[in-house]
Amino acid sequence: MKRFKGLRLACLVLGLGFLYLPILSVIVYSFNESRLVTVWSGWSTKWYGALLENQQLLSAAWLSVKIGALTATLAVVLGTLAAYSLVRFKYLRGQAQFELSTAAPLVMPEIIIGLASLLLFVSMEKLFGWPAGRGQTTIVIAHTVFAMAYVTVVVRSRLAHVDSSIEEAALDLGARPVTVFFTVTLPTIAPAIIAGWLLAFTLSVDDLVVASFTSGPGSTTLPMVVYSSVRLGVSPEINALATVMITLVSVFVLIAGLVLARSRDK
Amino acid sequence: METPLIEVRGLRKNFDDVTALSNIDLSIKEGEFFSLLGSSGCGKSTLLRILAGFEQPTEGRVFIQGKDVTELPPYERPLNMMFQSYALFPHLSVFNNVAYGLKRDRIAKAEINERVEEICQLMQISKLMNRKPHQLSGGQRQRVALARALVKRAKILLLDEPLGALDKKLREDMQFELVNLQEMLKMTFVVVTHDQEEAMTMSSRVALLNDGLIEQVDTPRRLYEYPATRYAASFVGLSNLFEARVVSHDDDLVTLWCDALDAELSVRHAQPLVPDMVVTVLVRPEKVSITAPDAQADNSVVGVIENIAYLGDVSIYYCNLPNGQSVKFTQANVQPAAELPLDWGQKVRLGWRAENCNVLVA
């Protein structure tokens, strides 16, 4: 194996470079003094200052975080219920159809989900007067549709590995089904639920297509702001924003990883 | 008449098109150590799960202390169960695993602590209170599972293959411990097992199941000495089974003709039998002895030793008769191994007494 050592190192460097060089260049250029994104003219943190003063970006970021958190919470509740019924109620009528319908958003093109949601919201508004216009609520609903599918997959695989006799043991010891769910089932699938929440949050914050279809005036999410401003030429502020987001996400992922690792050790 | 603690009447259980249990009638008295014995797939675990309330019978009723509990959910039944996989809660410490059932009954904290400590002391797991299940050995897990099922002081404990996951040595120790525990706590144990030795050692009574039906319910001793059916005779212990035709029946002595042995047999049997009826004769291998050529035995055959299985304490000999029929017999190895009295190819005359064999009509 020794003679391939050089080759293996080269592969490693190439692979990591392919993945992380673009991100690294964004971080480096966020400290660029120049207004032109591609020309380096010295170190500066002024774009971070400008970022803090850009009300449009900040409010879009806040909206995205709110939508992400709402979506993730809703998706976790619905996805966990779906996963639970798929794994535990084996003789449910229409089981196969239900399974298919929960998994469908995974393979459905985002643009279709976006368009379909828009059509639904518009016709619902005509019929019942709700939702009145489009905005945060409609984006959350549309995001939940596809985020829930991912949560279902994650929770379901965990639940399938949980021995159902521990739930029976709890029943036998005098716990009612609802108590069993909260004291036994939920704690044992908690790591999957946390992972599902993070996944749903990321998917929602990241989404541009579905949000574009289902947003209304005054509800512009962060990806939408970034996308529209980039069309007019990349501003260094966007680089600074990207760096902040990368840092936040890294910290987030690190914390989640530590939490999961500790729960496994216990 | 005293009401039985557990009574099962006319029970049947279907899974889709498959019948798992049928015609099950059982009554288990208070203080019994009752075993449900059978090979895998015979329905014994399903029966236990019906008693616990995890499965609903398709037909029939279950009574506990005379009260119909067929419709009651598991959390309202006055019994506890120990699972084959132990089913310990992985996220809870040993203390909280054991305390789980008491907390559901909203018992005061001080009393919970006291009762958990008491049962853990009894099960010798007091030192493990703060451990999580995955930090325990198989034997320790079993003790925790047992403690958790006992702490609620239900009258009935159901055990599903309680010793199945333990190694042989530990299993033998635990067999006696379970019996002692059951006597000390004056509880009723219902155990599911596929291991006939386990059932024989521990139980006061055994129900032998075969293919969803009860073959026989009896004490271990009677199950071995007087099996009701061919299946019971072959499942419990070693057996020689020969088909034979009834020739005559005087008093309690039956004379039969056995084609397989090419010999006339006499067997003590109280129930009247009609001549020409075809029955099965059971002879346990340890009841067969080697006899002198001129000795008078009730039944005797001559054959050649074909195979010897040396098990240490005893040896099983397979003796072939001239017509090819094989007869098993065992001999205790009282002499040191070097002086085995019998050898391959040796011609022997085997005999057994009329009261040491049985006639099986089913």
Say which residue the tokens 């047992």 belong to.
Answer: B146
- Selected residue with higher pLDDT from B109 and B253: B109
What residues of chain A lie within 8 A of the CB of B53, using their CB? Answer: 171-172
Band (pLDDT 50/70/90 cuts) for residue B144 is: very high
DSSP lists the bridge partners of residue B250 as: B253
Least confident range from A11-15, B230-234, B269-273: namely B269-273
| Inter-residue contact A167 to B90 (CB < 8 Å) | no
Examine the pLDDT at B347 and tell me if it is beyond 80.
Answer: yes
H or E element in which residue A199 lies: helix A186-206
Average pLDDT rounded to a whole number, residues A203-225: 91
- CB count within 10 Å of CB B50 equals 23
Handedness of CA A57, A62, A64, A65 (dihedral sign): positive
Examine the pLDDT at A169 and tell me if it is beyond 90.
Answer: yes
pLDDT at A218: 83
Average pLDDT rounded to a whole number, residues B150-178: 90
Reported as a single tens digit per residue, the pLDDT across B23-63 is 999 999 999 999 999 999 899 999 999 999 999 999 999 99
The pLDDT > 90 percentage for chain A reads 48
Examine the pLDDT at B1 and tell me if it is beyond 70.
Answer: no
Q: Which residue of A has its CA nearest to B153?
A: A173
What residues of chain A lie within 8 A of the CB of B80, using their CB? Answer: 172-173
Examine the pLDDT at A234 and tell me if it is beyond 90.
Answer: no
- Selected residue with higher pLDDT from B114 and A44: B114
Q: Which chain B residues in 134-163 lie under 8 Å from chain A, judged by CB atoms?
A: 148-149, 152
Helix (H, G, I), strand (E, B) or coil at B123: coil
Helix (H, G, I), strand (E, B) or coil at A10: helix
Average pLDDT rounded to a whole number, residues A38-42: 82
Q: Which amino acid makes up residue B145?
A: A
Contact criterion met (CB < 8 Å) for B89 and A173: no
Average pLDDT rounded to a whole number, residues A232-255: 84
Chain B: nearest CA to A85, how far in angstroms? 18
pLDDT at A264: 63
ipTM of this predicted structure: 0.86
Contact criterion met (CB < 8 Å) for A184 and B89: yes
Band (pLDDT 50/70/90 cuts) for residue A1 is: low
- Mind spelling out the 3-state secondary structure of B221-242? HHHHHCCCCHHHHHHCCCCEEE
Total CB pairs under 8 A between chain A and B: 64
What residues of chain A lie within 8 A of the CB of B75, using their CB? Answer: 171-176
pLDDT at B102: 96
Q: Which chain A residues in 157-196 lie under 8 Å from chain B, judged by CB atoms?
A: 163, 165-166, 168-176, 179, 183-184, 187-188, 190
Question: pTM of this prediction?
Answer: 0.83
Contact criterion met (CB < 8 Å) for B80 and A166: no
Average pLDDT rounded to a whole number, residues A200-226: 91
Reported as a single tens digit per residue, the pLDDT across A67-123 is 999 999 999 999 999 999 999 887 767 888 888 888 899 999 999 999 999 999 999
Band (pLDDT 50/70/90 cuts) for residue B339 is: low
Helices in B228-310 by DSSP H: which ranges?
Answer: 230-235
Examine the pLDDT at A26 and tell me if it is beyond 60.
Answer: yes
Selecting from 3.40.50.460, 3.30.300.20, 1.10.1740.10, 1.10.3720.10, what CATH number does the domain A25-265 have? 1.10.3720.10
- Selected residue with higher pLDDT from A183 and A253: A183
Band (pLDDT 50/70/90 cuts) for residue A9 is: very high
The tokens for A68 are: 């992400």
What residues of chain B lie within 8 A of the CB of A181, using their CB? Answer: none
Mean pLDDT of chain B: 91
Band (pLDDT 50/70/90 cuts) for residue B65 is: very high
- CB count within 10 Å of CB B113 equals 13
Average pLDDT rounded to a whole number, residues A170-183: 95
Examine the pLDDT at B293 and tell me if it is beyond 90.
Answer: no
Contact criterion met (CB < 8 Å) for B104 and A174: yes
| Inter-residue contact A215 to A221 (CB < 8 Å) | yes
What residues of chain B lie within 8 A of the CB of A183, using their CB? Answer: 100
Examine the pLDDT at B100 and tell me if it is beyond 60.
Answer: yes
d(CA A147, CA A138): 14
pLDDT at A265: 57
pLDDT at B287: 92
Close Cβ partners of B192 (under 8 Å, ≥ 6 residues apart): B35, B36, B44, B45, B47, B48, B158, B159, B160, B161
What residues of chain A lie within 8 A of the CB of B149, using their CB? Answer: 172
pLDDT at B262: 86
Band (pLDDT 50/70/90 cuts) for residue B338 is: low
Contact criterion met (CB < 8 Å) for A173 and B104: yes
